Structure 1
Amino acid sequence: MKKLFVIILISLNIGLVQAQTYKDFVQKADSCYRAKEYKLSVGYYDKAFKIEQKNTTDLYNASCSAALFKEDKKAFNWLNLAIDNGYENITHLQIDKDLEFLHDKKEWEKLITKFQKKLEVLEANYDKPLQKELLAIYADDQSIRFDFMKIYKEKGTGSKAVDSIGKIMMHRDSLNLIKVSKILDERGWVGKDVVGSQANQTLFLVIQHADLKSQQKYLPMMREAVKKGNANAGSLALMEDRVALREGHKQIYGSQIATNSITKKSFVSPLEDPDNVDKRRAEVGLGPIAEYAKKFDIVWDVEAYKKELPELEKVSNQKKEK
């Protein structure tokens, strides 16, 4: 009986270690991706997927690292697994510059065809014209941001190239806002059961990139949409935070990150009740703030943050005044 008890304890411990290890490997893989260490990123994803292969976001992100490292076999394998596990964002996949290396491979056409056939079954009862319009807006919204980030990383802030593409992005945003406002005013916040999750997400993206007046107008509509299951609670949290900060209040969920213009270090923008932020984040499906902050090279220490908060508020107010 004693031996059996020991075996059970060992089995439980192995299960706990595996659960923690998967998360650790993915975090390391993400960190390496951001540092452009794609070989290391692929290696960590390999280790994570030996434990499980279910999370569509992780599988998709892994394929991006593999494609950037020119590991096309792994990239296609992980993309196929992502699709098999429920990944639906075909428009994002087609415009994602991380995957451009795969476009001239014969497997790419096979993957897209497989993806389209699967979506045809899932989307049989959708409002096709509306979905098509929203997906076109999604592609327009995201493709310019891919271009902006590429130039920003190459040229840095303040460069003419960044300023130029920034103006183009703002112009596109204004045009997309006109289109989405018309849809919202006439149809309301249409759910994924009508247009699919990807087209539904377009509504949030365009309003998230809009002026404060437009955000204030459609925020109550999005709140109601979340209650009805027609919008994502996590996306609403981001919108709530952005509007709160733009109105001069503190954010609630800690989703908004800013950069100190002097130290060049990133920080969590002024946050209400930091002690209970993880509880609020969990309620809307967001992970712990420490994990989120780590993506921006921020070490989250709630006690240190509370001490720094008055200074962070000054920095944030200075940004608004400018």
Structure 2
Amino acid sequence: MRVFIFFLLFLTIPDCYAQKQSIDSLQIYQAVKGQLLTINQDDQQGRQLLDSISRKYGAKSNQVDSLWKAIHVADQVNLEKIKVIFRQYGWIGEDKVGVQASMTQFLVIQHSDVATQHQFLPIMRQAAKAKKADAGLLAMLEDRVALGERKMQIYGSQISLDPNGAYVMPLVDPDNVDKRRAEVGLGPLADYISRWHLKWDVNAYKAQLPELKKKHGIDN
């Protein structure tokens, strides 16, 4: 009988241990989710005020300038928090913390400087490959880094605004952009740029491209 009891305990203890580990892991990710959602709120808070402040005081007003300075300070604080989370857990997928909290990692990185974006790009590539990060968001980061390094963007996600209106920033191989966008789950470029009341005319864009490359200091 003693042998049987010992054998029964041996079978049940690992199950209890695994269950406790699962509960502990759930509690950890719930705490991290709270941190990420707070960072998300801090990231968006100032940016959500930009439109109303610009309309009230003007896009080049002191008020808008002060708001941008506050946003940049918040961005730096958020970046340091994200770095700590990465060191502890790596890239956290939406299966652990939900869509919004997981996307916060991308938001903070895309709002950082080019050197930081370049540093985190391989991490996000691996996360997207492991289905922990959205491939469409990775495409946006790829475009940001390329343009920041004076190269042409790949997916056409980056739009610039100037006094003459909005335009698609320099884009490699415009003829096949929709094919590349589809590969990462993005819709046609024409639909995307319609948000800025733009129409996609690939031939007109190719004619304009040399001028756009010169404007952005792109040689290749």
* CA deviation profile, 1:28-84 (whole Å, cap 9, x unmatched): xxxxxxxxxxxxxxxxxxxxxxxxxxxxxxxxxxxxxxxxxxxxxxxxxxxxxxxxx
Aligned to 2:87: 185
Q: Which residue does the alignment assign to 2:177?
A: 277
* Counterpart in the other structure of 2:9: none
In the TM superposition, what is the alpha-carbon distance from 1:279 to its structure 2 partner?
0.5
**Relative to structure 1, is the Cα distance of residues 197 and 241 closer, same or farther in structure 2, using a 3 angstrom cutoff?**
same
Q: Secondary structure at the match of 1:267?
A: strand
How do 1:1-322 and structure 2 match up within 5 A? Answer: 125=26, 127-261=29-163, 264-317=164-217
- Which of 153-162 and 209-218 deviates more? 153-162
Larger radius of gyration: 2
- Give the Cα–Cα distance (whole angstroms) in 2 for the partners of residues 152 and 210 of structure 1: 22
Residue by residue, what CA displacement relative to the aligned partner does 1:191-216 show, whole Å, maximum 9, x if unpaired?
A: 11111111100000000100111111
| TM-score after normalising by structure 1 | 0.58
Please report how far the alpha carbon of residue 259 of structure 1 lies from its aligned counterpart in structure 2 after TM superposition: 2.1
Asked whether the 8 Å contact 2:150–2:216 carries over to 1, the reply is no
Counting aligned pairs with the same residue, the percent is 48
* Distance of 1:150 and 1:171 partners within structure 2: 20
Q: Does the 8 A contact of 1:260 with 1:315 survive in 2?
A: no
Pairwise CA RMSD: 1.6
Q: From the superposition, tell whether residues 312 and 260 of structure 1 become closer, same or farther in structure 2 (CA, over 3 Å).
A: farther
The runs of at least 4 aligned residues of structure 1 exceeding 6 Å deviation read none
Q: Which structure is richer in relative contact order (CA contacts within 8 A, separation 6 or more)?
A: 2
Whole-angstrom distance in 1 between the partners of 2:55 and 2:106: 26
Deviation at 1:297, TM superposition (A): 1.6
User: Number of matched residues?
Assistant: 193
Q: How far, CA to CA, are the matches of 1:249 and 1:231 in structure 2? A: 24
Q: Please state whether the residue corresponding to 1:300 is helix, strand or coil.
A: coil
Is the 1:180–1:203 Cα contact (8 Å) retained in structure 2? Answer: yes
| Separation in 2, partners of 1:316, 1:248 | 7
Partner AA of 1:184 in structure 2 = F
Separation in 1, partners of 2:187, 2:39: 29
What displacement does 1:292 show? 1.0
What is the distance in 1 between the residues matched to 2:57 and 2:114?
29
Query: For the residues of structure 1 that align with 2:186 and 2:212, how far apart are their CA atoms?
Result: 23
Q: Is the Cα–Cα contact under 8 Å of residues 166 and 196 in structure 2 kept in the other structure?
A: yes
CA shift digits 1:236-285 (9 cap, x unpaired): 00000000000000000000001234xx2110000000000000111111
Task: Give the residue type in structure 1 aligned to 2:205.
Answer: Y
